Structure 1
């Protein structure tokens, strides 16, 4: 290879893999020995792409800032562009006379179409273009039933994953990157990801520190601490018993391989069962993405199409608004919704409760709730968010039985026995200022079962 050809840069296209360690695309670019251009394209124009919600954009801003700092420590920096990805990247590759472009794979339908178009155009132009597995432990096409079809039930899916070759070990971050040619890009602030008028993100700032360094600190702290009691504490919203790693996985500040191997290394006689339980939650995330791969319209279309005929009653906007604002008069539901609005997150047990309450007690279409979570969760991702909503509603893969209706009062007395969680988020609970429930729980459950029975009857017919 000549010196002239050596000077042609390799481009790394970052998306939801905002880290320098265990980043196969960045590692591949560094190994070429070429100058490296690190790129993020804010694509709010390509057809089919779902723009991140407000809370997720807040996180993205800070995660990009952290990534830029990590690249600068290694002699590079993040180039930020805005526009439809395919022509934007094609123009950049041409302007740079780039030799290669690398990225880590995505699994949604529109994303895959864009990535395929970029790869095809680059190769036709004589540019090396390669993608890598970085965001999942197991690629969707590698885990199949005996007949070659995708799994639709989690337990056999996870059993097949555990029987497959183990996830690869994480890659080290490049010690040094050769800085590529200067590219006129945007400042991260120019993307307008942060709320301004008004700035509603004070609760997010109090609750979270985005970024790769903070992500590793959180993972290590969990492995050394809360993991021990994870099986017992993960369902108790009033204690700090969960990992809180989901937004860090969503934006790729951590890879699932890093999480897997850290938890596996921490596994001993005390934590063996807890570690297995936690890793199965990582498996549930895998199952969601495998389902998205097979059902690209997961956020809008029932997996079980019989639910298309579900008799959703006419929506009462005031009732939906009461749910969104945490003013339903049902303490655990209200606590969860206020935690969500304030912190951009919600305890996982409570997420199931509030979703069940919306879809079954209030009989409001699950897509309404999914959209609200999409806008308010810092960890809202295109797979887990709709997948879990469909699971609760009964229309999805491995769905909860239609007759399973979480009773929020029983859930509160079981998992928030002393009321610590509810009192934190609903201080007026138990006073004259707290509203009466918007529905009767028993009557609304009976109405939900009757409505769901119409779907079941249609299926049997």
Structure 2
């Protein structure tokens, strides 16, 4: 019987899994998860490790329940070496996997195809992680895109999103006994159980992904355009962790929206699909600029006076102790559930890179460690966009005022009060700026600023002016060079 290894990574789902689907039609299947250093060259953050543990737990359980097939787990240094061992042990005739677009592993996937094809195996990679292939879309001049709007226009004209596949009717178990490591041996869960609140917040399973999609489509998508920036409301999809781990595919989401409206999208539904377009754009940019993981896309920012110190101010930012309520709420939400509302992500990133003048890479690394939806393209693109040094970047003079942003998008202070309970006693008009409250008001609710909640770590206007001066100086330096 023909037997195929299906190499899994960020595609832990049974439905719309092309590698698994096609392998199941050929004969027996050996699903394999390799935890190797070259397949995971950037160490996964703590929150994503917890998610990955639960995702593997769920996926392997479904494989066993539906098909009586075991997920093979191996640990090692080299992916090629581990695959060599598996091929020798099992005498398989092929290796199938779904293509990833991480620039750190792109060459590895190419080497897998070349190496095992030469050995006579049927080696295939399949498309499912993105809606488009990054090399397919080009400007009229034949160059990759660096601005979102024309990219999105071209995408809508030229890209046809394939309909998702169902789950395999049957997966035949190989009759070869393959040695496997226990999930616990991956040591993805920390010794201290700090993830209790994440356990309560997330249903880490393929079923959980579709439940969340259904909830969003039933309750929030039509108002998404108007309310997506409100962190106090449950009006975003919260599908990003499932997408990042491959527990749902982007084309499953795309077609669920299209079919719901029979192609006649509401403004909310269109705005949501546009956000999937941003994910595509982020990978398009990273694919064509792989150094973006560590380097500024706009090279003039190499001279920008960002600070790299992880000093007391930086740690106050990470812990949600800046004295700026909307920022502290966001950072505490991130720490407790591994996720933060997108509007608040922009606010906290602007504060770090502009008001505090910290290098965007410090924030990107913190998000990488604490987000359950940590995704290399979205994370890097988001931070460079906010810092002003990336593709289609926010202009340098756009420095989010966290107080006005809080009042606009969390008008009653409910989001802040949820994550910063010290401020619950304050009247709504002072929640976003407790230092503006008259002393009489503070005393009446038994609140002492500087004791019950810290004073702002930086003066808002002064730090904004300092950032503007630095950006303007950078512009002058560029003009002199030109």
TM-score by length of 1: 0.96
* 1:298 Cα deviation after fit: 2.0
* 1:315 Cα deviation after fit: 3.1
Q: Does 1:427 pair with 2:387? A: no
Q: Does 1:50 pair with 2:42? A: yes
Q: Does 1:78 pair with 2:97? A: no
- Preserved CA contact (<8 Å) 1:299 1:370: no
Structure 2 spans left out of the alignment, 5+ residues: 424-433, 435-446
* 1:313 Cα deviation after fit: 4.2
Corresponding residue of 1:68: 60
Aligned partner (choices 443, 458, 469) of residue 450 of structure 1: 469
Corresponding residue of 2:243: 249
Q: Does 1:126 pair with 2:120? A: yes
Corresponding residue of 1:192: 187
Structure 1 spans left out of the alignment, 5+ residues: 1-6
Aligned residue pairs, count: 452
2-structure distance, mates of 1:29, 1:314: 48
2-structure distance, mates of 1:144, 1:241: 34
* 1:149 Cα deviation after fit: 1.1
- Preserved CA contact (<8 Å) 1:226 1:241: yes
Bigger mean CA deviation after superposition, 240-249 or 63-72: 63-72
* 1:109 Cα deviation after fit: 2.1
Corresponding residue of 1:292: 286
Q: Deviations over 1:183-221 (max 9, x none)?
A: 10111111110112x111011111111111111111111
1-structure distance, mates of 2:318, 2:329: 11
* 1:381 Cα deviation after fit: 0.8
Q: Secondary structure at the match of 2:290?
A: coil
Aligned partner (choices 90, 97, 104) of residue 84 of structure 2: 90
Bigger mean CA deviation after superposition, 351-360 or 219-228: 219-228
Judged with a 3 Å threshold, the aligned counterparts in structure 2 of structure 1 residues 316 and 95 are, in CA distance, closer, same or farther, namely closer
* 1:48 Cα deviation after fit: 8.0
Q: Deviations over 1:31-68 (max 9, x none)?
A: 21x1100000012x228811110000100011111111
* 1:413 Cα deviation after fit: 0.7
Q: Secondary structure at the match of 1:145?
A: coil
Q: Deviations over 1:77-102 (max 9, x none)?
A: 21101112121112212221111100
Q: Secondary structure at the match of 2:95?
A: strand
Q: Secondary structure at the match of 2:6?
A: strand
1-structure distance, mates of 2:308, 2:125: 46
- Preserved CA contact (<8 Å) 2:222 2:267: no
Q: CA RMSD in A?
A: 1.5
Aligned partner (choices 20, 27, 35) of residue 28 of structure 2: 35
- Preserved CA contact (<8 Å) 2:231 2:409: yes
* 1:457 Cα deviation after fit: 1.8
Q: Secondary structure at the match of 1:38?
A: strand
Judged with a 3 Å threshold, the aligned counterparts in structure 2 of structure 1 residues 102 and 268 are, in CA distance, closer, same or farther, namely closer
Judged with a 3 Å threshold, the aligned counterparts in structure 2 of structure 1 residues 345 and 35 are, in CA distance, closer, same or farther, namely same
2-structure distance, mates of 1:303, 1:434: 38
TM-score by length of 2: 0.91
Bigger mean CA deviation after superposition, 384-393 or 423-432: 423-432
Q: Does 1:183 pair with 2:178? A: yes
- Preserved CA contact (<8 Å) 1:153 1:398: yes
- Preserved CA contact (<8 Å) 1:340 1:377: yes
2-structure distance, mates of 1:410, 1:304: 29
* 1:316 Cα deviation after fit: 6.2
Q: Secondary structure at the match of 2:50?
A: helix
Corresponding residue of 2:340: 346
